Amino acid sequence: GGAEPAGGSTRNFLLETLRQYAREQLDAAGGSDHWRRRHAEHYLAFARDVGPGLRGPDEIAWRTRLMEEFDNVRVAVNWGLDRDEAEDALVAIRIVGAISVEAAMRRGSGVGAWAVRALERADLMDEVELFDIRSGAVWDLYQRGDLVAARDLSLEAIRDGIPPSPNNSTSAHACAATSSVNLGDIETAMRVFEDGLVGVDAHP
C-alpha cells in the first residue's frame, strides 16, 4: 500500500518492519529466546546507565537517550515479564527498577504499569528491587485515580525505611504524601514528608 504511516514517520515504520522481520527469522531458526535474553541483558546494562542520569543535573539529555531506545526497552521488559524462568523475569524487573523514577515523571511512559505487572513476581525480588518496583507502581495507581491503593502501597514501601542504594529513593514518600493530602489526611502527609526528608539526607 502507498499509505503514509501515521505521523509521516517513515523511518519508524521501516525500523518496526525490520524488527518484525528479525523476530520472524529468529523464531524460524529456533534461537529466539537466546537472542532475546541477550537483547534484554543489553538493555538492563543500558537502563543501569540511564537511571542515575534521570536523577541528575543532565536529566533531559538522559531522558532523550532513554526515549531513543524506549521501544527496545519495552520489548526487553515485556519478554522478561512473560517468561516463567526466574532469571529472565529478574532482568525485566531490574530494568524497570533502574528507570522507575520515570513512572512519576512521565505518565505516558508505561513504566508504572510495568512496575505493577512486575509486582506479580515480588517473590523473586530482594529488598532494593522490591522498593524500586513499588516506587514505580504507586504512581501508576495514583495516575489512574486509585488514591487509596497508591497511598497504601506507598506506605508499605516505606514502612521499613529506604533500603541501601535504591534507584528511586523518594518517589514512594512523595506519592504517599500526595495521595494522603488528596484523601484529606494531612497528618499522615506531614509525617511521611518529614520521614522523607530524613531519608533524603541519608541517601544523597
pLDDT of 46: 97
Type of residue found at 23:
R
Q: Which tens digits make up the pLDDT trace of 107-165? A: 788 999 999 999 999 999 999 999 999 999 999 999 999 999 999 999 999 998 889 88
Q: How confident is the model at residue 32 (pLDDT cuts 50, 70, 90)?
A: confident
pLDDT of 35: 84
Residue 50 has pLDDT above 80, yes or no: yes
Instruction: Give the residue-averaged pLDDT of 2-23.
Output: 63
Q: Which tens digits make up the pLDDT trace of 173-199? A: 999 999 999 999 999 999 888 876 655
Q: Which tens digits make up the pLDDT trace of 75-113? A: 999 999 999 999 999 999 999 999 999 999 887 889 999
- Give the whole-angstrom CA distance, residue 176 versus residue 142: 10
C-alpha cell at 171: 518517589
- Whole-number average pLDDT of the chain: 87
pLDDT of 2: 46
Residue 7 has pLDDT above 60, yes or no: no
- Give the whole-angstrom CA distance, residue 133 versus residue 81: 13
Given the C-alpha cell 518517589, which residue does it identify? Answer: 171
pLDDT of 107: 77
Phi, psi dihedral angles at 12 (to 5 degrees): -65, -40
Handedness of CA 93, 96, 99, 102 (dihedral sign): negative
- Give the whole-angstrom CA distance, residue 145 versus residue 97: 22
**DSSP character for 51?**
H
Report the b/e string of 158-183 with b at 16+ CB within 10 A.
beeebbeebbbbbbbbbbbbbbbbee
- Give the whole-angstrom CA distance, residue 135 versus residue 30: 37
Closest CA to 50 of 36, 69, 71, 72: 69
- Give the whole-angstrom CA distance, residue 191 versus residue 161: 13
**H-helix segments, 55-163:** 59-68, 70-82, 86-98, 102-105, 111-118, 127-143, 147-158
pLDDT of 161: 84
pLDDT of 28: 59
CB atoms within 10 A of CB 52: 13
Residue 202 has pLDDT above 60, yes or no: no
Residue 30 has pLDDT above 80, yes or no: no
Residue 48 has pLDDT above 90, yes or no: yes
Higher pLDDT, 168 or 50: 50
pLDDT of 31: 58
